Amino acid sequence: MKKLVGFTFALLMLQSLSAQENFKLMFYNLLNFPLEDAVPNRLQYLELILDDYRPDLFMVCELNNESGGNTILNSLQFINPDYQSATFMLNTSDDTISDQNDLQQLLYYDSSKFSLESQTIVTTIFRDFNHYRLLLNTIEQDTDPIFVDVIVCHLKASSGTENQSLRAQMVEDLEAYLDTIPEDSNIVLAGDFNVYTQSEPAFQALIDNANNIRFIDPANRIGSWHNNANYIDVMTQSTRTETGFGGTTGGFDDRFDFIMTSENMATNPKLSFIEDSYGVYGNNANINCYNQAINSSDCAGTDYSSFIRNALHNFSDHLPVTLELQTNQSLSIKELVAESGIVIKGSTIVDDSLQLSVDSSLQNQIQLCVFNSLGQLLQTVDVNNSLIAVDTSQFTDGIYYITSKKLQFEPLKFIVSH
């Protein structure tokens, strides 16, 4: 897709957006990031995924440490400087069983759309939940505020009655906490549930009609997911069939990862999920993908290219899950108005050369700078013609950006894939 950038800017101004505003959510099991190093430079694959989807709320588990959290935030801020993260808070509740405390959760958010009001750790028998309370940055937030309570979790893994019991006890601890929250709260529960079927006690406890807060599945795909190809569209694990990448192998046969919402978010006009917006990022719902690796040709489809699926395969043994929310209130967001000046010609995914079309008024006036995703300057390009070729033959696969020191514009992004 062509990316347009401007060389003449109008004023930055606050504009009320349309009466309906949408928000994109993504949850992702990061597979022991950054300590898992079987795949070199895994971060480049995560950056590609995030830059493609650009979630307004990004919720993660299996984050090992604060340093890893900051690394991801830096990558997000290179995509959009408005991204912020919640404070990293160490989860220690599983020390009493397995002496492991490096599987953490965290929330990242677009601060132009949300403000973080508070965060709380919900202690459980095995591994904590993280509760983040966010305020939508609406025009009416002082008189009619809209809050969303985001809870991120990672339930006990593995099959067997003992592990099922631990998952159930974790959810019981969560439900006791939710009993203290107003029943009309807008709650998003995102995590790696590690459940194999809807009949598991942990899942049944979440959807129990007797709860103060009853959760629903926006995908409307409740069933017996494990080894059941009828649920291929909501399967998230495993993306791999071969060893050597870290994580779990076995191919695509489980739905472990979820975004659920409180029941009221199906119909609440102030904040609700958009019907049919639930998705598994990278999953083409191809029945041939059952028990295959996500980057296999058996998993091909029209929604997700082999390039994206290969990045997902290399980064984690899980796929992210996504959901869109909407509000009937208006946001006040700075909008940048610009005229077109530089255009990427053709695809933004290139091999040896990137073609740029340049407005005549810019020729012999500016020099372009090419940066990698770490912010390192790799190349400068003189703008002396209406068509510029940037040599990318020596670049490694990944995301790159083009800016200019003399001219201020939103960076052009392109991807190198040899």
Give per-residue pLDDT as tens, 352-395: 999 998 887 787 778 888 988 777 889 988 888 888 899 999 99
Residues of the chain whose pLDDT is less than 70?
Answer: 1-19, 93-99, 333-340, 408
pLDDT at 15: 39
Give, in degrees to the nearest 5, the angle at Cα 202 between 268 and 59: 55
Q: Is 378 helix (H, G, I), strand (E, B) or coil?
A: strand
CATH architecture, range 4-12+340-416: Sandwich (2.60)
Q: Classify domain 18-330 at the CATH topology level.
A: Deoxyribonuclease I; Chain A (3.60.10)
- How many CB atoms within 10 Å of residue 353? 10
DSSP state of 78: H
Reading the block at residue 255, the tokens are 């739905």
pLDDT at 163: 95
3-state helix, strand, coil in the chain (%, to 5): 20, 35, 45
Query: Could you give the dihedral angle defined by the CA atoms of residues 306, 311, 317 and 323, in that order, rounded to the nearest 10 degrees?
Result: -80
What one-letter code names the amino acid at 211? N
**Cα separation, 292 vs 289, whole angstroms:** 5
CA distances from 273 to 152, 194, 233 (A): 17, 23, 19
**Cα separation, 371 vs 380, whole angstroms:** 9
pLDDT at 1: 37
For residue 186, give the nearest of 66, 280, 267 by alpha carbon. Answer: 267
pLDDT at 335: 42
Q: What are the extents of the domains in the chain? A: 4-12+340-416, 18-330
Q: How many CA atoms, within 13 angstroms, populate the side-chain half-sphere of residue 309?
A: 27
DSSP state of 302: S
For residue 187, give the nearest of 104, 292, 263 by alpha carbon. Answer: 263
